[in-house]
Homo-oligomer: A and B are copies of this chain.
Amino acid sequence: MKDAAMNGWAEERLDELWARGRAFLGCDTAILGGAMAWVSERHLVSAISGAGGFGVIACGSMPSDLLSKEIAATRALLEGMGGERPFGVNLITMHPELDRLIDLCGEHRVSHVVLAGGLPSAASIKRVKDLGARCICFAPALALARKLVRSGADALVIEGAEAGGHIGPVSTSVLAQEILPEVPEIPIFVAGGIGRGEAILSYLEMGAAGVQIGTRFVCATECIAHPNFKKAFIRASARDAVPTIQIDPQFPVIPVRALANKGTARFMEMQRTVIDRFHNGEIDQKSAQLEIEHFWAGALRRAVIEGDVDSGSLMAGQSVGMVKREEPVAEILAELRGQAVAALTRRAARQAGG
């Protein structure tokens, strides 16, 4: 084959490989945007969907009126780009207004709702589907993936421990090996540590319908994150993105992966001090736990919006080492796609030559 023909073949082959994911999402590139609180808002989400990916609004702790505005604004931005493109909304199951937020997505005719942050109930999944939306859920282990299929989930995200933000204990490569061969029923999107097209290709060939990528989009030109936040991402290596550490089994800490900074060091120090005060009888267990839980309150917003990269929370996945510069979403997607196509081309050339 000539180079151009080979490239055409590889482009077609990639589109076949993620055909199931593209059909499910209704877009050209089966890449879901990771829902990052404060980061995944109208600008980044519309940029991802506008460029052929699938943007997802992170509702986080937003009340329903704010979410309503965000959905409307995202749709308006997309219409400004020349048409209707699908995007999703990520809701956290522990949100006190979860039912109200699901209904709101129905009112806005949101096509895909992602239920995250804990195992969603069969009732929540049904509520999403009854409104005509597709329901995507996170499966942190094989048994839970099977349970979610039984509960009616339309698709799954399996997200490994190398992801940014709230994480489970098991790495992406292990989840992919354990879950992809065993759950053919519904499309599965692989997430965590994906920063190059070769990795996307690998997971597609292992049976994934697509992937979810967060960290690589933080330094998109269209992303509203503060320049300090983006600079910290561009400077960081994979080893700088570390999970928060719990130092005492009595005092749970939710593991969150973020860039190490003064805040993470102070968090360890604070835990030790508070636990000492508990052991010395100066405070009770509940107050100690509350002090630990409140430490990071507002810290993500401080970092993303205000640019306080010293004491703020710089949630990032290990793929942060592959973030090299600020560039438009369309270029990031083109680069990822190009790497996957080039890998397919190289492989076909070797096969033809050998």
Interface residues of A (CB under 8 A from B): 13, 16, 141, 160-162, 168-178, 180-181, 192-196, 198-199, 201-203, 205-206, 237-239, 242, 245-249, 265, 268, 272, 275-276, 279, 318-319, 321-322, 343, 347, 350-351, 354
Chain B: minimal CB distance from A180 (Å): 8
Is B173 within 8 A of A171, CB to CB?
A: yes
- The 7 A-B pairs with the shortest beta carbon distances in the complex, nearest first, are A202-B202, A247-B247, A162-B171, A174-B318, A170-B238, A177-B196, A169-B239
Chain B residues whose C-beta falls within 8 Å of the C-beta of A177 in the assembled complex: 193-196, 198-199, 319, 322
Residue among A13, A170, A279 with max Cβ neighbours from chain B (10 Å): A170
Is A174 within 8 A of B321, CB to CB?
A: yes
Chain B: minimal CB distance from A173 (Å): 5
Chain B residues whose C-beta falls within 8 Å of the C-beta of A238 in the assembled complex: 141, 169-171, 174-175, 178
Chain B residues whose C-beta falls within 8 Å of the C-beta of A343 in the assembled complex: 205-206
Residue among A161, A175, A246, A318 with max Cβ neighbours from chain B (10 Å): A318
Chain B: minimal CB distance from A309 (Å): 19
Chain B: minimal CB distance from A108 (Å): 36
Chain B residues whose C-beta falls within 8 Å of the C-beta of A192 in the assembled complex: 171, 173
Chain B: minimal CB distance from A146 (Å): 14
12 further A-B contacts with Cβ under 8 Å, apart from A141-B239, A173-B194, A202-B203, are: A16-B350, A160-B171, A162-B173, A170-B318, A171-B173, A171-B192, A174-B195, A177-B199, A177-B319, A177-B322, A248-B272, A249-B268
A239 and chain B: residue at smallest CB distance: B169
Chain B: minimal CB distance from A328 (Å): 22
A248 to B271, CA, bound (A): 10
Chain B residues whose C-beta falls within 8 Å of the C-beta of A351 in the assembled complex: 13
Is B195 within 8 A of A202, CB to CB?
A: no
Chain B: minimal CB distance from A182 (Å): 11
Residue among A202, A268, A319 with max Cβ neighbours from chain B (10 Å): A202
